[in-house]
Structure 1
Amino acid sequence: MSPDDARSTSATTLRTRVERAVDQPTTKWIVPDTGLTAAARFLVTLKDGSGVFVKAATDEQTERWLHTEYLALRQVPERFVPRVVAWLDEPGSRPVLVVEDLRRAHWPAGHEGVDWREGDIDRVLAAVADLAGVRAPAAFEPTPPRPAYWPSLLREGPDRAAFLDLGLCSAGWLNGAATALTEAEAGLDDSGDSLVHGDLRSDNICVADDRVVFVDWSDASRGSAEHDLALLLPTLHLEGGPMPYDVLPAAGGWAAAGGASLARRILDDAGAPGWLVKVFVRLLAIDLAWAASCLDLPRPDGIDWRSI
Structure 2
Amino acid sequence: MCPVPDDARSISTTLRARVEHALGQQSTEWVKPDTGLSAAARYSVTLNDGSGVFVKAATDDETERWLRTEYLALRHVPERFVARVVAWLDEPGSHPVLVVEDLRRAHWPAGHEGVDWREGDVDRVLAAVADLAGIPAPAAFEPAAPRPAYWPTLLHEGPDRRAAFLDLGLCTAGWLNGAATALIEAEAGLDDRGDSLVHGDLRSDNICVAHDRVVFVDWSHASRGSAEHDLALLLPTLHLEGGPMPYDVLPTAGGWAAAGGALLARRVLDERGAPGWLVNVFVRLIAIDLAWAASCLDLPRPDGIDWRSI
2:229 matches 1:227? yes
Deviation per residue, 1:28-74 (Å, 9 max, x gap) = 11111111111111110000000000001100001000000000001
Residue 138 (structure 1) shift? 1.4
CA distance in 2, matches of 1:55, 1:12: 15
Aligned to 1:301, what secondary structure does the other structure show? coil
- 2:268 is matched with which residue: 250, 266, 269? 266
RMSD: 1.2
TM-score, with length taken from structure 2: 0.96
Partner of 1:3: none
Deviation per residue, 1:63-122 (Å, 9 max, x gap) = 000000000001111000000000011111110000000000000001111000000000
1:71-220 matches, cutoff 5 A = 71-155=72-156, 156-220=158-222
CA distance in 2, matches of 1:36, 1:301: 34
Q: Aligned partner of 2:72: which letter? A: L
Q: Greater shift after overlay, 268-277 or 286-295? A: 268-277
Aligned to 1:207, what secondary structure does the other structure show? strand
Aligned to 1:199, what secondary structure does the other structure show? coil
Partner of 2:5: none
Q: Aligned partner of 2:295: which letter? A: S
Aligned to 2:108, what secondary structure does the other structure show? coil
Residue 270 (structure 1) shift? 2.5
CA distance in 2, matches of 1:115, 1:179: 39
Partner of 1:241: 243
Aligned to 2:209, what secondary structure does the other structure show? strand
1:28-67 matches, cutoff 5 A = 28-67=29-68
2:24 matches 1:23? yes
CA distance in 1, matches of 2:111, 2:295: 32
Q: Aligned partner of 2:261: which letter? A: G
Residue 16 (structure 1) shift? 1.4
Relative to structure 1, the CA distance from residue 168 to residue 45 in structure 2 (aligned partners, 3 Å threshold; closer, same or farther) is same
Q: Aligned partner of 2:183: which letter? A: L
CA distance in 1, matches of 2:226, 2:70: 18
Residue 152 (structure 1) shift? 1.0
Structure 2 gaps, min length 5:
1-7
Relative to structure 1, the CA distance from residue 181 to residue 45 in structure 2 (aligned partners, 3 Å threshold; closer, same or farther) is same
Q: Greater shift after overlay, 146-155 or 283-292? A: 146-155
Residue 9 (structure 1) shift? 6.3
2:69 matches 1:68? yes
Partner of 2:4: none
Residue 10 (structure 1) shift? 3.4
TM-score, with length taken from structure 1: 0.97
CA distance in 2, matches of 1:271, 1:22: 41
Aligned residues: 303
Partner of 2:13: 12
CA distance in 1, matches of 2:67, 2:272: 30
Aligned to 1:231, what secondary structure does the other structure show? helix
Partner of 1:293: 295
Structure 1 gaps, min length 5:
1-6
Q: Greater shift after overlay, 192-201 or 263-272? A: 263-272
- 1:281 is matched with which residue: 262, 283, 293? 283
CA distance in 1, matches of 2:9, 2:179: 57
Aligned to 1:19, what secondary structure does the other structure show? helix
CA distance in 2, matches of 1:273, 1:139: 36
Give the 4+ runs in structure 1 shifted more than 3 A: 7-10
CA distance in 2, matches of 1:114, 1:86: 31
CA distance in 1, matches of 2:274, 2:17: 38
Residue 154 (structure 1) shift? 1.1
Q: Greater shift after overlay, 111-120 or 29-38? A: 29-38
Partner of 2:3: none
Question: Structure 1 vs Structure 2: percent identity of aligned residues?
Answer: 84
